[in-house]
Amino acid sequence: MKIAIIGAGNLGLSIAKGILHSNGATTMYLTKRNTDSIKDYEKYGNVVVTSDNLEAVKKSDVLIFAVQPGHFAAILEDVKDLLTEKHVVISTITGFSISKMESILGKDKFIIRSMPNTAISVGRSMTCICSNDAGRKRIDLAKAIFNRMGHSLEIPEEQMQAATVICASGIAFWMRLIRATTQGAIQLGFDAREAQELAMHTCNGAASLLIESGNHPEEEIDKVTTPMGCTIQGLNEMEHQGLSSSLIRGIVASFEKISEFKTKN
């Protein structure tokens, strides 16, 4: 697979790391306007670093765009005449609709809109995807690419903003929960490094339990909560203080913000 990542910034480089981690490409082009900070990637023999988007597009089949929303239309205009039947266009751009991409590239192009998260760099992204009509022919290819770097789910385009909140911003939300747990563990006497180790591996274990068993979280909670025990005591206190409510409200506030962005653009 010949992949180009157009816009090797935070997310683009996370994807590049995920692709390298999973041996997911025969060649990979990484583009950026100023390439100094990413030249090191050329130490991987199959990686080409360049500021020339046109060269990257010509030499690649799968084009993953990870630039800021304000730059995307102009870049599509620049490359559109180079697109052929071999190309699959995958956008990771927040709030940029498929119809907007089609209006620049044409409806006949294979277009996939995706929302990965930065855990793609370690092969653990939750990635939501959707496509235009033509792109349906390449949706399995897109899923295969993202499944090598985590888990993917096809969703209707209307849910893409909500998926951004849950999956992309979600990394930040979960980080805060892990940090808060770490702070609690330090207060109980662990040193900072151990406290984080306990917090993050417990978090990993909890998610893995659900992924592997298919169980509802409450089924797993029931197994841990001894009647009159310490777990239910802690859990109820967290709920009295608004744990679930605060998470839900934060998610809704984040969605309101992203919806505002959509209206403005």
Ligand X SMILES: NC(=O)C1=CN([C@@H]2O[C@H](COP(=O)(O)OP(=O)(O)OC[C@H]3O[C@@H](n4cnc5c(N)ncnc54)[C@H](O)[C@@H]3O)[C@@H](O)[C@H]2O)C=CC1
Ligand Y SMILES: O=C(O)[C@@H]1CCC=N1
Binding residues for NADP(+): 6-11, 66-69
Does 152 engage in binding with ligand X (CB under 6 A)? no
Considering only residues 156 to 195 of the shown chain, the ones binding ligand X according to CB under 6 A are: 168
What are the tokens at 119? Answer: 């855990």
> Of 19-27, 40-48, 129-137, 162-170, which segment contacts ligand Y by CB under 6 A?
162-170
What is the Rg, in whole angstroms, of the alpha carbon atoms belonging to the chain? 21
Does 9 engage in binding with ligand X (CB under 6 A)? yes
Return the amino acid letter for 85.
E
Interface with ligand Y (CB under 6 A), residue from 169, 195, 196, 199: 169
The torsion of the CA quartet 36, 41, 46, 49, rounded to 10 degrees, works out to -20
Q: How far is the CB of 105 from ligand Y (least distance, A)?
A: 23
Q: Quick one: 167 or 195, whose CB is closer to ligand Y?
A: 167
> Of 41-49, 64-72, 139-147, 234-242, which segment contacts ligand X by CB under 6 A?
64-72
Does 6 engage in binding with ligand X (CB under 6 A)? yes
Does 91 engage in binding with ligand Y (CB under 6 A)? no
Does 63 engage in binding with ligand X (CB under 6 A)? no
196 binds, among ligand Y, ligand X, none (CB under 5 to 8 A by kind): none
Does 14 engage in binding with ligand Y (CB under 6 A)? no
Q: How far is the CB of 252 from ligand X (least distance, A)?
A: 19
Does 48 engage in binding with ligand Y (CB under 6 A)? no
111 binds, among ligand Y, ligand X, none (CB under 5 to 8 A by kind): none
Q: Quick one: 83 or 129, whose CB is closer to ligand Y?
A: 129
Interface with ligand Y (CB under 6 A), residue from 53, 60, 92, 94: 94
67 binds, among ligand Y, ligand X, none (CB under 5 to 8 A by kind): ligand X
Q: How far is the CB of 234 from ligand X (least distance, A)?
A: 31
CA–CA dist 243, 22 (Å, integer): 37
Q: How far is the CB of 41 from ligand X (least distance, A)?
A: 13
Cβ neighbour number for residue 51 with a 10 Å cutoff = 11
Residue bearing tokens 């409450």? 218
Residue 12: CB partners within 8 Å, gap ≥ 6? Answer: 5, 6, 30, 32, 64, 66, 67, 92
Does 164 engage in binding with ligand Y (CB under 6 A)? yes
Q: Which residues contribute to the site for ligand X (CB under 6 A)?
A: 6-12, 31-33, 53, 66-69, 71, 75, 92-94, 115-118, 168
